[in-house]
Structure 1
């Protein structure tokens, strides 16, 4: 069911962009929550202990990648099972979910086939940035999305930031040269590695 939800999430969020780590988390969480609820049941003491453990995780550690947070909850669920004496259940749960994560890692589930890059283009204020670079971007990229537009130098310049996924035969120099002809040879920055892991379809 988590896999089904994850696939629907990818299909419906493809244009706006989705996080690879979050798609894997959607697969892990239903199994983790199910085993925790199964172990806690109607026992109020166990529920309060679990709430205390979640509070320690939430307030004593920095939130990282969604997959990392899921692994923390996964480990907590296995520890809870073993602490309650259900060691066989803990081993079985850990084995099944670890095998699922290995399969997802080998198949590179929801990962982009090409690296995502960030493109910053500076243009004069009299250039129509909405229709200026679309043909070049369509020629050299599989997908692109405007991330941000801002003014600089007291409004005399615009800076447009794109997130692009280049094609396999991507020629960086040729791509930048064509952009320079359109932006009046102003500054162009192409970051080959960006901090977020958003994927755009």
Structure 2
């Protein structure tokens, strides 16, 4: 699933940043007026809040425009798309102005922010995650998961009977999702926590924790010394030769291809070696295949794309 090209346009990015800043500034005035039952204040203070919000929105956009282009274009576009979804979600902060029961207003704000936060979490995981699986496809489930959890908590939080019924229902369902790496499980829990927080009506603490965890994870990935390969292939070589490991390492070093050793298995009459290799061109793939066919005619080699952002 891909976002509409509109979400990666300059107009959408500017509009999202301005709306986020204006909505946040206006929400402070709206909440204060509603709390003190002084709706007449809105006509005086909302224009001032909107002006301050526009100024902050411009600064917000310029800051993001300075930070995100430091990434590769595909990574920057993905983060901008997730950020735009979140920014547009701040429009829900205007709901208190409508003549709706507070229950529906809180549900609407929580529902929209759950989806926006989950979409941005998916973008962060896609760009900065290190899992070998297709991170983009896995991240596509975050929005639905967060919204479902938020809906469930909103329905059962005020009823003991419904809570007990939920426990009984979940005892019947068996979840058998294959979690390949701990990082996937961590992001699933992060998404569930977002849905729980907004479903329970804890908007402030949930948003604060959301930004703290997201920014902290990004900073950790940026300063981490480990190699971060975006177009990796799992290269497996097995055959009767004994020096496959040294030969393969020497070839990769000569070609200056980033790699990580993953497996070595030897027996009396064969060897089995696996590497995770960063290969960004078809020519490098063909050269690797040709080298081992010429060097070791009896060797079998398989190359599988191990990680991708698409």
Return the match for 1:63 from 177, 197, 205. 177
Q: Which has the higher helix share?
A: 2
Indicate the structure whose relative CO is greater, using CA pairs within 8 Å and at least 6 residues apart.
1
Asked if the contact 1:121/1:189 (under 8 Å) is kept, the reply is: yes
Q: State the structure with more CA Rg.
A: 2
| Superposition TM-score, scaled by structure 2 size | 0.36
Q: How many residues align?
A: 142
Residue segments in structure 2 that go unaligned for 5+ positions in a row: 1-116, 181-187, 189-229
| Superposition TM-score, scaled by structure 1 size | 0.51
CA RMSD of aligned residues (A): 3.9
Q: How does 1:101-140 map to 2 (within 5 A)?
A: 118-122=234-238, 124-126=241-243, 128-129=245-246, 131-135=249-253
**What is the deviation of 1:37?**
0.6
**What is the deviation of 1:34?**
0.9
Asked if the contact 1:120/1:190 (under 8 Å) is kept, the reply is: yes
Q: Does 1:151 align with 2:151?
A: no
**What is the deviation of 1:148?**
2.2
Q: Which has the higher strand share?
A: 1
Runs of 4+ in 1 over 4 A off after TM superposition: 135-139, 163-168, 170-174
**CA 1:18 to 1:174, structure 2 compared with 1: closer, same or farther past 3 Å?**
closer
Give the structure 2 partner of residue 180 of structure 1.
Answer: 293
Give the structure 2 partner of residue 25 of structure 1.
Answer: 141
Give the structure 1 partner of residue 98 of structure 2.
Answer: none
Give the structure 2 partner of residue 46 of structure 1.
Answer: 162
Q: How does 1:154-169 map to 2 (within 5 A)?
A: 154=268, 157-163=270-276, 167=280, 169=282
- Give the Cα–Cα distance (whole angstroms) in 2 for the partners of residues 120 and 189 of structure 1: 6
**What is the deviation of 1:9?**
2.2
Return the match for 1:10 from 126, 148, 157. 126
